[in-house]
Structure 1
Amino acid sequence: MSVLTLDNISKKFAENAIIKNLQLQVNDGEFVSILGPSGSGKSTLFSLIGGILSPDNGTILLEGENINGKTGAISYMPQSPSLLPWKTVLQNVLLGQELKGTKDEAKAVQMIEKAGLAEYVHAYPRQLSGGMKQRVSFIRALLSPQPLICLDEPFSALDELTRLDMQKWLLSIWENHRRTVLFVTHNIEEALFLSDRIVILSNKPASILADFEIPFKRPRGEELFLEDDFFEWKRKIYHAMK
């Protein structure tokens, strides 16, 4: 079943065409990554899906409902954790639910504990490392009731080892819940490790150059990075982007 459908989406700023006639479908429980060159319109695409911008042409459907220009329909995790400094970890995690009029504190505490943050349930963001803040931000997105989670390069500011730890943690949590995810990244290895599908955008005006189904079985471990098939797919994606 399709959760998100982008039907012939176009967007301009003045005379500058950013996205043109873009078609994309994301199905229930899929983890889909978007790769593309800098300035190709990835952030604009997320702003359109999130309702911050409206498309000039085309329709954005979420579970069959037109959400053009509608905010609050998706769960969004930006590059920076965007935690409220005056709220505790638990209060930040519950924020998405509270905005929708629901609150499951017991489940939130359970998720925080599974993230290895049991000692920080009532701590404030200033007491957390960068990786810890990203875990809290992802748990907030995961617990929000919207049917689609959009992740905008959430690990780009982390060092390489922390980034790998976060990728493995995100994958383990996602495989338990199988929420529908649209993930923006510049990192080919990250996209291959996490995704069911990889969508490659052209230079602007952005359209879809390629849409690959990734064949690696789940669950996945870091040993995948050393397998021949992984290197073959990395070359394939690299050449498609070129």
Structure 2
Amino acid sequence: MSKLLIENVSKSFGKNQVLQDMSLTVSDGEFVSILGPSGSGKSTLFRLIGGISLPDSGSIYLDDAKINGQRGSISYMPQSSSLFPWRTILKNVLLGAELNGKIDEDKAVNMLERAGLKGYEHAYPHQLSGGMKQRVSFIRALLSPQAFMCLDEPFSALDEFTRVDMQKWLLNVWTEYQRSILFVTHHIEEAIFLSDRIIVLSQRPATVKKEFVIPFERPRREELLLTEEFLRFKKGVYDALVE
């Protein structure tokens, strides 16, 4: 497990300021979602955390070590599955571990089986559905040695039924492994259903506008989505986004 601290981070591209004095934390084993308007800098924030870009000012710490501009500190799951078409499913999930010299093929096979992908170890990505590809992508991130995970709208391309199934599957896996997760989504229900906390960003230049602690106990079940309490909470988050 691992703790992330973002402290007064700002970032501009030319005259276009994207982030302004942004500060947030993700505690050990915590699941935190980020919601914000389109173009509010969520992807830029992930690039900064991943060390792909440098902030203009401010600091990013992982387990008290400053990681500004430092790559390889986190594992990352993008919007698309980004699987290599020439590698088998097993070889794809082992990629992160392979790059870090910590391959455990038995563990990978076991995780694929538990994800409902038994028998697909030697298949190729084009033979899998969208939901199956996203499971493979998440297992690849989970098998990477980094304890902190950034998930960038990983279910946005899925239909509603597949999306809900993937959310429930993700919660089951996360409950077992308790990785620290920072999750970007545009989907309010998804953020509430999955998270311990939600951070709402403002329009550009983005800063933290509001924070919500999710009051619903775990484990979360699909029936929660239709309760009056859930719908009231959803309205509160929606109001914070549009105000």
TM exceeding 0.5: yes
Corresponding residue number in structure 1 for 2:73: 73
Query: Displacement of 1:103 after TM fit?
Result: 0.9
Is 1:224 the counterpart of 2:208? The answer is no
Three-state SS of the structure 1 residue aligned to 2:85 is coil
Superposed counterparts of 1:1-242, under 5 Å: 3-242=3-242
Tell me the alpha carbon deviations over residues 124-151 of structure 1, each in whole angstroms, 9 at most, x when there is no partner. Answer: 1111111110000001111111121000
Asked if the contact 2:23/2:208 (under 8 Å) is kept, the reply is yes
Tell me the alpha carbon deviations over residues 145-170 of structure 1, each in whole angstroms, 9 at most, x when there is no partner. Answer: 11210000000011111111111111
Query: Displacement of 1:26 after TM fit?
Result: 0.5
Letter of the 2:169 counterpart: W
Three-state SS of the structure 2 residue aligned to 1:120 is coil
What is the CA–CA distance in structure 2 between the aligned matches of 1:180 and 1:143, rounded to whole Å?
A: 14
Query: Displacement of 1:228 after TM fit?
Result: 1.3
Asked if the contact 2:2/2:29 (under 8 Å) is kept, the reply is no
Asked if the contact 1:96/1:140 (under 8 Å) is kept, the reply is yes
Runs of 4+ residues deviating >2 angstroms: none
Letter of the 1:77 counterpart: M
- Structure 1 residues 117 and 30: CA distance shift in structure 2, 3 A: same
What is the CA–CA distance in structure 1 between the aligned matches of 2:100 and 2:26, rounded to whole Å?
A: 23
Tell me the alpha carbon deviations over residues 182-235 of structure 1, each in whole angstroms, 9 at most, x when there is no partner. Answer: 000000000000000000000010000011110111111101101111011101
Query: Displacement of 1:2 after TM fit?
Result: 6.4
What is the CA–CA distance in structure 1 between the aligned matches of 2:66 and 2:218, rounded to whole Å?
A: 33
Give ranges in structure 2 of 5+ residues lacking alignment.
none
Q: Normalized against structure 2, the TM-score is what?
A: 0.98
Three-state SS of the structure 2 residue aligned to 1:102 is coil
What is the CA–CA distance in structure 1 between the aligned matches of 2:88 and 2:3, rounded to whole Å?
A: 32
Query: Displacement of 1:27 after TM fit?
Result: 0.3
Tell me the alpha carbon deviations over residues 32-78 of structure 1, each in whole angstroms, 9 at most, x when there is no partner. Answer: 00000000000100010011110000111111111111111110000
Identical counterparts, % of pairs:
64
Asked if the contact 1:18/1:40 (under 8 Å) is kept, the reply is yes
Letter of the 1:69 counterpart: G
What is the CA–CA distance in structure 1 between the aligned matches of 2:187 and 2:21, rounded to whole Å?
A: 25
What is the CA–CA distance in structure 1 between the aligned matches of 2:147 and 2:112, rounded to whole Å?
A: 21
Give ranges in structure 1 of 5+ residues lacking alignment.
none
Q: Normalized against structure 1, the TM-score is what?
A: 0.98
Asked if the contact 1:79/1:152 (under 8 Å) is kept, the reply is yes
What is the CA–CA distance in structure 2 between the aligned matches of 1:199 and 1:63, rounded to whole Å?
A: 20
Across the two proteins, how many residue pairs are aligned to each other?
A: 242
What is the CA–CA distance in structure 2 between the aligned matches of 1:215 and 1:33, rounded to whole Å?
A: 14
Letter of the 1:119 counterpart: G
